[in-house]
Amino acid sequence: MLVRLSGEEKNYEWGSTNLIQDRFQLGEPNQPVAEIWFGTHPAGESIAAESGKPLSELLGTKLSFLAKFLAAGSPLSIQVHPNKEQAIAGFAREQALGLKLTDPNRNYRDQLHKPEILVALSSFSALCGFRPVSELTEIFLAFSESEERFGSLARNLAAGSSLEQIFTELLQDTKLAARFSKTVGEAESIGNQQNLASKARDLALSLLEKYPGDTGAMVALMLNHLVLKPGEAIFAPAGNLHAYLSGLGVEVMAASDNVIRGGLTPKHIDQAELLEITDFKELIEPLVEPVKRAEGFFEYQVAATEFRLYRAELTGSNLLADLDLPAGAMVICSAGEVAVSTSLEEREVLGKGEVVYLSEAKKFSLSGSGSAFVVLGN
């Protein structure tokens, strides 16, 4: 089976008015488009273009993964996802409280975990995992000249306070968030150089401009701030605190909708649950380095059993023939034109933004001149 899929458009407030529209000619111009979903998730299931049937009906089952185009025109919430045990317990707890699955105050809408990877298609700004303590200390000390609260935090770190303790203080210090733009923001001593502290200050000020007084901007100081180049990726396993700030990317995750938010959003925030779920270890190397599997074929290896993600770079002189298809796969064309063919003599030619799902064949091949992502299910 080789079928073209239509995606489910999500018009969240933080979406971009041009990134998906200009790149893929999807969505209405000048209207925010945040995500296009491809998969069998009940909140946005793909439809087979030719038959008009839901993908799960064609397959007789649901996919273990969900793929998306994601376009952040403004910052998403600082958030974390649970592991399987936490998801099962949290779902049962909210069911016992009688909360409907559509209740905006729910954290858990299913019993699954949600490991996710994002690969940049444009320059992409993101927060991912906790900075090394040495970097955090440098930032706090630079800020301390104009805001003594950060001097206290730096001394606490030096005295052995854990990242969890520092994070909890910043998350709950609404007074610091309220005065940061005035004290640290207007301090001349930090300077305008592109050093670690000045970049961290600029980040917090930009977040406070959109969310005044939000403590999420303070805890953002503790996270690795990355600007990904196209093809670079970050991975958020269970417990990884992260936020996407701006840019266009392809996101692949286990097919769950469990999100615990800690700030930078008008949606439900649950600080207590966030503290319970978050992994407070330093993340020294947040980037996922792709591994070359063949000429023009790269794997993003991550700790997720629900999917495997590859990127294909095709030219007229480079095709990928007779790739194994142990289970179903989704092919997402992100640039140019890519032909997908199977050992069952099926063939579809994809333009950028177009997606197919293939199964039942033993082999498939990719050719053309363009780029594509291949998502293998379990």
Give catalytic residue positions.
Answer: 261
Do 301 and 310 touch, CB atoms closer than 8 A?
no
Q: Are strands 65-72 and 124-130 parallel, antiparallel or unpaired?
A: unpaired
Secondary structure of the chain as H, E, C letters: CEEEEECEEECCCCEECCHHHHHHCCCCCCCCECEEEECCCCCCCCEECCCCCEHHHHHCCCCCEEEEEEEECCCCCEEECCCHHHHHHHHHHHHHCCCCCCCCCCCCCCCCCCCEEEEECCCEEEEEEECCHHHHHHHHHHHHCCCHHHHHHHHHHHCCCCHHHHHHHHHHCHHHHHHHHHHCCCCCCCCCCCCHHHHHHHHHHHHHHHCCCCCHHHHHHHEEEEEECCCCEEEECCCCCEEEEEEEEEEEEECCCCCEEEECCCCCCCHHHHHHHCCCCECCCCEECCEEEECCEEEECCCCCCEEEEEEEEECCECEEEEECCCCEEEEEEEEEEEEEECCCCEEEEECCCEEEECCCCEEEEEEEEEEEEEEEC
CA 12 centroid distance within chain: 15
C-alpha span between 188 and 67 (Å, rounded): 45
CB count in 10 Å sphere of residue 377: 20
